Structure 1
């Protein structure tokens, strides 16, 4: 049985990482074994590194502090990934903007999860921005990574309601619960060969997904 290798990139607490470990690591999808072969952080104090260690997954620090440029950091990251040869790279709260050269090198094999219903609210502070705008719902998006920030083809979204009394923390917790479900699901589709990126579109089972991904309703 073929083993498919995943590397997860993090910067912080790693709750999405934990969900990926729980749902995917050492699991089987049809004719594939899944293994998270490494967790890489750009921050020394990222709790996700401890999560990896506790799961007996190699925890690798490539610290970004003190690195003079994004290009230099991405060269270091590329060197590590080239040694690991992952089938899939998952960004799970990796708080760095990647260079176009890096993204293009791994085009079609890198996914990200973003805490908004893209294309709304790219970037940071999405929860408060949604509340301030009077939105009735918010959510999370799994998408392929392309050079444009938070703009790659959408794979899957999950929506949650915004209540009048919500603050950003309460909304974030509600969204995070959904993130833990949809990210592992999308990754399993990729591992199983069902999900691919082609001509800047996401395809699931050979069918092109729309702007809002699978099951937009």
Structure 2
């Protein structure tokens, strides 16, 4: 399809969200295509999954570079060749520098397993349980220099059940992550949301609550 937005996905691990994005992009009429998957780990389990779908893969391990700056310069050089419209972080476990983010300002999005601004960073599921939360969820947001602080594009919520473990909660949240991220990418690729002056701005085409907040029973 002509006019589809070019997307590069960054991963560090299994790539389950990457797979769901790829599935969405394979559907007729989806406004984006994944042109490459980049990992910061040579053995990331998501790399062969992407290859099996015919997606170009690249592994740029941090240990192979003298500094964070050199590592990011290599990634930016690769991105210059790939010419993505958007970058999707999908389990990419490395903080990007301000210089990197500014190079693609408003064009990098991330999925985080909490209802931001609650519980940014790591150990989100345990922190939600420790806080006595009754709901948990995930957020897709634009990436800015503050960790998990960027404007929110969409969120999905699930109940926390009595006796939940972190593993059980993580699995429940992952089911809605897999629905939310493709919906958010579609909205971005269709021009229905953009980042402007530090905020997520939606077009006047309206926001369908079913896409913006997904609640699993």
Counting only pairs closer than 5 Å after superposition, residues 1-217 of structure 1 correspond to structure 2 as 1-25=2-26, 27-29=28-30, 32=31, 34-206=32-204, 214-215=212-213
Cα distance 1:25–1:164, how it changes in 2: closer, same or farther (>3 A)? same
Contact (CA 8 Å) 2:113, 2:139: kept in 1 or not? Answer: yes
Contact (CA 8 Å) 2:111, 2:140: kept in 1 or not? Answer: yes
CA shift, 1:66, in A, is 4.2
What number of residue pairs does the alignment pair up?
Answer: 211
1:125-171 per-residue CA deviation (whole Å, 9 max, x = no partner) reads: 10011111111111000000001110000010001111121110100
Contact (CA 8 Å) 1:11, 1:43: kept in 2 or not? Answer: yes
CA RMSD of aligned residues (A): 2.0
CA shift, 1:214, in A, is 4.3
Q: Which runs of 5+ in 1 are unaligned?
A: none
Normalised by the length of structure 2, the TM-score is 0.91
CA shift, 1:3, in A, is 2.7
Q: Which runs of 5+ in 2 are unaligned?
A: none
1:193-216 per-residue CA deviation (whole Å, 9 max, x = no partner) reads: 11111111111214899xxx9459
Distance 2:50 2:138 in 1: 24
Distance 2:213 2:168 in 1: 25
Following superposition, which runs of at least 4 residues in structure 1 exceed 6 angstroms of deviation?
none
